[in-house]
């Protein structure tokens, strides 16, 4: 733990808690505000400079035990189980860690409160997977954070009975934000054990206590407290006799590294290079199999040196051909599939296609009140990250619009949502992306014909991707 | 149309409408009551003698336009679309039939009210598939009917704008009960065109008007009216100018014929016969390929006759080996997978594991109030068709319990739900099946040891398969 | 062992050995002659009355040690391994049975003589699978026998070093004909242990000596001897010190029982019944799930009795609809895929499309000598079982012709060979089937137009399915 | 056509034809000799400097019409079809190109001479695919060439009747060596039409005559002539009235380019980089999705520049991690699967496990004569490219030996052939690779224990991978 980090930990007592801003006017700003609130009084700049991907951070909030309370309570978990179709293994796990042995005790089938609390009363931890599916307040938080982080933000909740531990020491493949909701829990956090485990790509197996070194942070979380640690930091936590614990782990940055982008970029770059650059299509030298290969690796022949030098040269030329923007769009497309659908404020609902007031079914079965945008209507995208333009097929002029507005509340519950527009329309969508969060008139859309302006606006609005400045009369 | 049928149609005016009984004490009786209510004033015996699988039946209810109103309205459909994640093609279709051309116009993605009503206002019919998933009142009706029919009961709703027709003439593979909810619709029903289309196994393609003969029934349905026709009866319906229509088609008996049972029975019977009866394992006669086969079908040789006679003899022995009960259980198992989960009354909820009052999460995270059954508790199965015992594996002593209590609201939304019990426990489950709808004490379960009686009762109760006579304190 | 069987075994000494007739004029007669030669001096009628599927049979041929010698020798096996691409596990197995433990010792990859004989010299048995693929003499025998048995005739050879046993006691799922070729081997044959193992459908696992009762036959085979036992008879065999053994097991009637035919017939019969007979399409009775099923099997209600009676009635009607000839053709089609291709005599080759003399490539690249059939050419099918007419698709008029002339030497080495003809042509093919083994003039083919007669004859001849009476000039 | 190329074409008259050297002492030298003979009097250096992947080359051999005759003739093709199981589409194609329309006329099933010559006499071209499978002389040539080129060498033969053309103009994805065997054929060869078609990765579709420019080479090939053109060069060829043509196209370098190696190398390099270098595992910057992507490609923000610069830096670090030798071994492993098995000279056979003289089956079934290598036996690999060492699994110490000695004569007729050795043994195999073509004593193998030296030698010898200096007695 560096000096700065210690100072953060000292200052971590939250005196001035900001209100969560829900103005809804700018999803980027909203996301940043949500994150500021999450880690207050630490400032985001401070956080990213000192903690992010580097060190654990504890924020104490002794005077604000209810800081996160509105998000989730054990009672709400009870209601979720009772009122929804919750399945063991898919939505909920009951687990235990006793005498160094970690067990998942899920029976098959539906989880009813009666079965779940039976396990709980017998000392099992109850982990709910992605409770945001069933919990609107958490969904709101995560949907907002994902606009800040630019990637899927998930969550698990952990309800642990007194005097127990539900999981073996291990590290995860995500950035972890721990929000203590009820009771208290004692945490031990350990630095990565070796360079190869710093910011790892995959979660670890369970460790024995013998495999651990000294923790870099040991702390008891109380209601309102916050704890962060980067992926790769081993952790374990337990409750004391007489005190249960409920916390939420909000997570992000799973498979969101430079390497993940390169996994999309490199094959594409090579494909382009092979198409555009004859050097990549030339035949290999006649004798390369005799000079390279593991069994030839100690032969420092001239041919071998020339061979390696040429490969190096070709690798150097790869970046010239690398379709970086297209690869980034593939990441963006993936994000649109992963993302939670946006959670609309009441105000936003009124200005969207989701407004209850738009349509009336008359007694005689006719539907009236359907209102249309006009050229003077002012519109903007519903969120900064509500859609992604992707150019996937060079054989025609169309552009694919991937979006998340219709995503199911369940992670990957539906196939990616996509529709196509012409390249002219795509330019106008681009305009909406760049003008965000400002409203622009339909008549200012970068399309020559008024009909096209109206058609595009109508299309995006019907899909639920647009907000109007004022509710449509 | 026979004389009796005509008389039914004449008497079909519903004067004395019974209330739907929802006592919840006997699901078989409840199911029968629900069906009686559906077709009143016709009596079920009358219906099954004269109409079922034989002829269409119209019940006029001029004085009871709101007879079915509580089940579904166009406003409710609007709310379902607005409040749920409804997808085109999966949950909803927009269709048209104009100038003899039938079209499905579903766009990809989510169906929002705005898009749906746009189609509707442009003359398209809106078909909602299995609205019972989203509509508790309809779910209650269908779940009750399925206990009467012993098979899955589904439904589609059809909202048709004025002066239009949404579908081409065709026949279906299900028994159809039409419930007119709003507006009016003019129906033409045609008898099967040839013997092979009587009670067909598969729905027909769309017919042209030229392929139809004279209708056997032509009638305009008004709110509250009921219409039945068997599978294989061609039908088409249209609205008049100025009048929209909303009706519900409740359906059953899809793939529920003797032939469907035989499809399960015959391979099993042959497998048993081959195992138990050496006659089935004996080699075919040396020369049969020269005497039988289509190109030998006109050779009336002695060998050919002997060959056919022997086959006939073997077929006759098949029934001896036919595991009829096991095949019926396969049908029962399939029904458990198809079935809607039961809809509980408030009273029933209180006497089941789903009771809200059973458990309290204390402030300190402890869960209290979990109550257990005792030997004096009186219990019965939640429904007559809540579970099915199936013996699937002769290599051990276990019996499989397939059940529908955890089925998703979506048809086949989850894998079949099953758990295993020992053959001793299975005997006690059988006792519960046969004693239904009477309650029996846990101590009267046919198990030697009290612990086993409690264990089985607790298991079934926790799974949600049991009702107690009184709410557990 | 019955008295008759004993008498057969006594008479089993082959005094008058017939020559194998290879006239090639009638494949049915040839097949019967081949089988007569195989079991001489026993007559086929005797064999089928007393031994076939009933009891083992031993024929001693003390004075004819070379009786089977031309078929296979250990030297030929060596040459096969050396000259062909023989793979362990696919074509050859090396096995051992020592101290009650049976092992297959196949290394991966190609079997070279050096590796094989290494195993052999270390006491392993060498089993060659389907040596007929590489051994024309055996192929000739098996191809001839399959025209007699009407099913695939396979073979394995077993080379066993002195003083060893290669296999544990077991029974097989085929009729076994053992031909002792070299050395001697001591056999123990045991009757099926229980009714369920008489003529079994599947081979047994390996038995321990403790699982066996007293053998029904114990005999030492010497060169030229023959041994038969039906499927289900357990057997084991071992060599004495100082004497190796080579024998061939010719096999047939695998999956060729009445039950196998019924497996094809029953689903087809039910499909037809469902299509033709409305009784099979009628709905099941409303309450059947409550009266039938294993948990209701002891309730002798009237409904249950009626239910079973109705099922019985339907089963009785099945035979009416059973498409027996079509099911037999499915067996015939399967046989065409399984079958060895015919082995032609030199004379036959000259009268077939395979004649070397038919075509000459001139120096200048032109091909001359291609001769055509004319109306006076007399033709017949190459073999009785060279093709099978099958009517597979009722949506058109075509008939499928499955044939085996192009089958690969490897079992199932190629997909089934099939071509289609019109129903008119099919009638003429039928005529060829029924006139076999007589020749008929092309002009006598049952087709109205001479062009069609020539076209069909040319088609069949080019496919290699016809023999002409005389070589084409 | 450059001046040098013209000069090559002028000098292309083969005056001094070298004999093909078949000493069999060094497969690399043999391969080079085979190629020298193929293109004589052009020298390989000349060829690779002026023609290879650059320009067509014609060698005229007016005085040596039989130069290639021993390899293949139309009579041999006739015999191959008659004596082997040749299937249309798999082994042979009949094609035509008439009035600008290209057709493949393959019937289903087996190709008999009668059917093939019927097509031929009606003007169709007959293409035999990979005739080396059935033609030992061609197999010998190709197997030798593959040791020179270090990749699979294939072939097709083309028999074209007089006055016809069998194929439309097109280019291929292989280096083509045309060997004129019989008759004469007129060729037109065109340069690649655009940079993207130089050395293309995939063959072209058929072109119309209108899509072609002026040929760079137009020439009539006579028996003994040779023609080369690189992949990407469009070509078409036709026969004159009265003259058929038979030529062979020997091909190589399909998917053997730098790009193909990079397709194996890049994913491996990235995987290693992600494992070894934390820079690749660090998270992407928070806002990258807003700065990169096609719709942001015109925004020259500082973040965008930094983002691209960082990607460039990471790409630069890739080569550090690139497991080049392992990727080359993957190419080598692929080659082992593609490769023709070696064709042994009589002398070589005697010094290999394939020697006929090694083993004798005695009359009494014993096998004698199996001889073993001893420590003084001198051995070398059968060919330079007979095996490839590959290290595939880092979780253990074993090394995989992929080899081609057991490959089937059919391309990819068998799965890759592989066995494993310990890393100690692998070192000794490496020694054999590097000492090739010299013999070394078994006792000089780099293994500590004599038993291991003998075990490895015996293993490789039994697999057929070794030659001894002298036949084993």
DSSP readout, D246-295?
A: EEEEEEE-TT-BHHHHHHHHHHHHHHHHHHH-GGGTSBPPTTHHHHSSGG
- Superfamily of domain covering B3-252: Cupin (2.60.120.650)
CB of B289 closer than 8 Å to CB of C328: yes
The answer to whether domain A274-322 has CATH 1.10.10.10 is no
Using 50, 70 and 90 to split pLDDT, how confident is the model at D24? low
pLDDT at residue D12, rounded to an integer: 41
Q: Which residues of C touch B296 (CB under 8 A)?
A: 325
pLDDT at residue C370, rounded to an integer: 64
Q: Encode pLDDT of D271-304 as tens digits.
A: 999 999 999 999 999 999 999 999 999 888 999 9
pLDDT at residue D13, rounded to an integer: 37
B462–A115 CB contact, under 8 Å: yes
Q: Which residues of C touch B333 (CB under 8 A)?
A: none
Q: Encode pLDDT of D229-239 as tens digits.
A: 999 999 999 99
The conformation of residue C13, written as its DSSP 8-state character, comes to B
Q: Which two tokens stand for residue A289?
A: 């199999």
Strand order through the sheet with D57-59: D57-59, D226-229, D175-183, D245-252, D154-160, D125-129, D92-98, D101-104
Q: Encode pLDDT of C92-141 as tens digits.
A: 999 999 999 999 999 888 898 888 998 999 999 999 999 999 999 999 99
Mean pLDDT of chain C: 91
A286–D150 CB contact, under 8 Å: yes
Q: Which CATH number fits domain D258-322: 1.10.287.3510, 1.10.10.1500, 2.60.34.10, 3.80.10.10?
A: 1.10.10.1500
CA dihedral D129, D132, D138, D139 (to 10 degrees): 150
CB of B416 closer than 8 Å to CB of B402: yes
Q: Which two tokens stand for residue A93?
A: 């796990």
SS3 A302: helix
B359–A462 CB contact, under 8 Å: no
CB of C290 closer than 8 Å to CB of B384: yes
Nearest to C370 among D118, D356, D361 (CB): D118
Domain boundaries, chain D: 3-252, 258-322, 325-468
* Burial class for A3, CB neighbours closer than 10 Å (0-12, 13-18, 19+): exposed
Using 50, 70 and 90 to split pLDDT, how confident is the model at C302? very high
Residue of B269, B271, B295, B268 whose CA lies nearest to B281: B271
Tell me the backbone φ, ψ of residue C333, rounded to 5 degrees: -60, -45
**In chain D, pLDDT over 70 holds for what percent of residues?**
93
C75–D361 CB contact, under 8 Å: yes
**In chain A, pLDDT over 90 holds for what percent of residues?**
80
Q: Is B246 on the interface with A (CB under 8 A)?
A: yes
Nearest to D113 among C120, C161, C359 (CB): C359
Q: Is B444 on the interface with C (CB under 8 A)?
A: no
Q: Which residues of D touch C371 (CB under 8 A)?
A: none
Residue of C111, C106, C160, C155 whose CA lies nearest to C133: C155
Give the best residue of D32, D171, D283, D309 to mutate against chain A (max A CB count within 10 A): D283
Q: Is D459 on the interface with C (CB under 8 A)?
A: no
Residue of D433, D352, D353, D453 whose CA lies nearest to D389: D433
Nearest to D308 among A175, A256, A324 (CB): A324
Give the separation between CA A216 and CA C162, rounded to whole angstroms.
73
Q: What is the dihedral sign for C-alpha C80, C81, C87, C90?
A: positive
Mean pLDDT of chain D: 91
The conformation of residue D60, written as its DSSP 8-state character, comes to B
Q: What ipTM is given for this predicted complex?
A: 0.81
C408–D85 CB contact, under 8 Å: yes
Q: Encode pLDDT of C386-418 as tens digits.
A: 999 999 988 899 999 999 998 989 899 888 999
Q: Which residues of A touch B106 (CB under 8 A)?
A: none
Nearest-10 crossing angle of helices C450-462, C423-435: 70
Q: Is B358 on the interface with A (CB under 8 A)?
A: yes
Is the bond preceding A415 in cis, omega lying within 30 degrees of 0?
Answer: no
Using 50, 70 and 90 to split pLDDT, how confident is the model at C319? confident
Give the separation between CA A230 and CA D414, rounded to whole angstroms.
50
Q: Is A198 on the interface with D (CB under 8 A)?
A: yes
Nearest-CA residue of chain A relative to B75? Answer: A361
Residues across chain C? 473
Q: Which residues of A touch B409 (CB under 8 A)?
A: 85
Q: Is the pLDDT of residue C195 over 60?
A: yes
Q: What is the DSSP string of B197-260?
A: GSS-SS---PPPGGG----SEEEEE-TT-EEEE-TT-EEEEEPPTT--EEEEEEEE-TT-BHHH
pLDDT at residue C1, rounded to an integer: 38
Question: How many other CB atoms sit within 10 Å of the CB of residue A108?
Answer: 12
D185: which strand partners? Answer: D221
Mean pLDDT of chain A: 91
Give the separation between CA C375 and CA D90, rounded to whole angstroms.
35
Between strands A185-190 and C245-252, the pairing is unpaired
Q: Which residues of A touch D426 (CB under 8 A)?
A: 295
Task: Give the CA count within 13 Å in the CB-facing half-sphere of A235.
Answer: 29
Query: How many angstroms away from the CA of C354 is the closest CA of chain D?
Result: 7
Q: Is the pLDDT of residue A20 over 50?
A: no
Task: Give the CA count within 13 Å in the CB-facing half-sphere of A316.
Answer: 6
Low-confidence ranges of chain B (pLDDT < 50): 1-21
Tell me the backbone φ, ψ of residue C98, rounded to 5 degrees: -135, 135
The answer to whether domain D325-468 has CATH 3.90.930.40 is yes
A297–D325 CB contact, under 8 Å: yes
CB of A429 closer than 8 Å to CB of A421: yes
Give the separation between CA C256 and CA B281, rounded to whole angstroms.
9
pLDDT at residue B2, rounded to an integer: 43
Q: What is the DSSP string of D433-449?
A: HHHTTS-EEGGGSS-SS
Give the separation between CA D92 and CA D116, rounded to whole angstroms.
9
Q: Is A392 on the interface with D (CB under 8 A)?
A: no
In the block, residue with structure tokens 């019977």: B269
> Which helix (H) or strand (E) element contains residue A467?
strand A466-468
SS3 D119: helix
Nearest to A258 among D150, D198, D284 (CB): D284
Report the first-to-last Cα separation within chain D, whole angstroms.
59
pLDDT at residue A8, rounded to an integer: 40
Q: Which residues of C touch D463 (CB under 8 A)?
A: 109
D108–C353 CB contact, under 8 Å: no
Q: Which residues of A touch D297 (CB under 8 A)?
A: 325
The conformation of residue A386, written as its DSSP 8-state character, comes to S
Q: Do the two domains D258-322 and D325-468 of this chain adopt the same fold?
A: no
CB of A441 closer than 8 Å to CB of A450: no
B251: which strand partners? Answer: B154, B176
Q: Encode pLDDT of B400-438 as tens digits.
A: 999 999 898 999 988 899 999 999 999 999 999 999 999
B118–A356 CB contact, under 8 Å: no
Give the separation between CA C262 and CA C258, rounded to whole angstroms.
6
CA C379 from centre of chain: 27
Residues 153-182 of A with CB under 8 A from D: 175
Query: How many angstroms away from the CA of D421 is the closest CA of chain A?
Result: 14
The conformation of residue B280, written as its DSSP 8-state character, comes to G
C162–D121 CB contact, under 8 Å: no
Neighbours of chain A (3+ CB pairs under 8 A): B, D
Q: Which two tokens stand for residue D148?
A: 């020179």
pLDDT at residue A272, rounded to an integer: 96
Neighbours of chain C (3+ CB pairs under 8 A): B, D
CA dihedral B13, B18, B24, B25 (to 10 degrees): -110
Residue of B436, B433, B441 whose CA lies nearest to B379: B441
C284–B332 CB contact, under 8 Å: no
CB of A60 closer than 8 Å to CB of A13: yes
pLDDT at residue C19, rounded to an integer: 42
Give the separation between CA D12 and CA D38, rounded to whole angstroms.
12
Q: Which residues of A touch B117 (CB under 8 A)?
A: 359, 367, 370
pLDDT at residue C361, rounded to an integer: 74
């Amino acid at each position: 733990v560096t000096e700065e980090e210690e100072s953060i930990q000292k200052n971590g007592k939250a005196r001035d808690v900001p209100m969560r801003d829900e103005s809804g006017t700018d999803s980027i700003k909203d996301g940043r505000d949500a994150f500021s609130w999450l880690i207050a009084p630490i400032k985001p700049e401070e956080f990213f400079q000192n903690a992010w991907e580097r060190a654990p951070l504890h924020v104490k909030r002794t005077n604000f035990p209810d800081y996160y309370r509105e998000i989730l309570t054990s009672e709400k978990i009870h209601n979720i189980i009772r009122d929804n179709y919750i399945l063991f293994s898919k939505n909920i796990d009951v687990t235990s860690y006793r005498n160094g042995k970690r067990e998942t005790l899920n029976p098959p089938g539906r989880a009813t409160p009666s079965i779940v609390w039976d396990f709980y009363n017998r000392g099992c931890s109850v982990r709910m997977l992605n409770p945001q599916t069933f919990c609107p307040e958490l969904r709101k938080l995560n949907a907002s954070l994902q606009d800040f982080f630019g990637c899927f933000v998930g969550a698990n909740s952990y309800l642990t009975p007194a005097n127990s531990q539900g999981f073996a020491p291990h590290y995860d493949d995500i950035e972890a934000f721990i929000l203590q909701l009820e009771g208290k829990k004692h945490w031990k956090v350990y630095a990565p054990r070796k360079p190869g485990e710093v910011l790892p790509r995959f979660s670890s197996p369970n460790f024995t206590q013998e495999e651990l070194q000294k923790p870099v942070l040991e702390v008891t979380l109380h209601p309102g407290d916050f704890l962060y640690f980067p992926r790769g930091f081993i952790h374990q936590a337990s409750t004391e006799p007489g005190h249960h614990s409920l916390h939420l782990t909000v997570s992000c940055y799973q498979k969101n590294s430079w390497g993940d982008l390169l996994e999309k970029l490199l094959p594409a770059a090579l494909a382009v290079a092979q198409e555009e650059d004859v050097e990549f299509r030339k035949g290999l030298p006649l004798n390369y199999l005799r000079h390279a290969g593991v069994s030839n690796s100690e032969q420092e022949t001239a041919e071998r040196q020339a061979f390696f030098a040429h490969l190096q040269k070709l690798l150097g030329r790869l970046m010239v051909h690398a379709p970086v923007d297209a690869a980034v769009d593939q990441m963006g497309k993936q994000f649109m599939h992963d993302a939670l659908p946006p959670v609309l404020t009441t105000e936003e609902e009124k200005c969207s296609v989701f407004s209850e007031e738009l349509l009336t079914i008359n007694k005689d079965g006719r539907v009236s009140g359907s209102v249309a945008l006009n050229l003077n209507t002012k519109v903007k995208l519903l969120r900064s990250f509500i859609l992604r333009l992707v150019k996937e097929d060079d054989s025609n002029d169309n552009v694919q619009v991937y979006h998340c507005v219709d995503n199911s509340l369940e992670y990957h519950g539906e196939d990616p949502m996509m529709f196509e527009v012409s390249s002219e329309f795509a330019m106008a969508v681009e305009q909406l992306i760049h003008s965000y969060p400002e409203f622009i008139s339909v008549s200012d859309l970068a399309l020559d014909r008024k009909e096209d302006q109206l058609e595009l606006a109508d299309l995006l609005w019907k899909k639920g991707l647009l907000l109007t400045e004022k509710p449509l009369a």
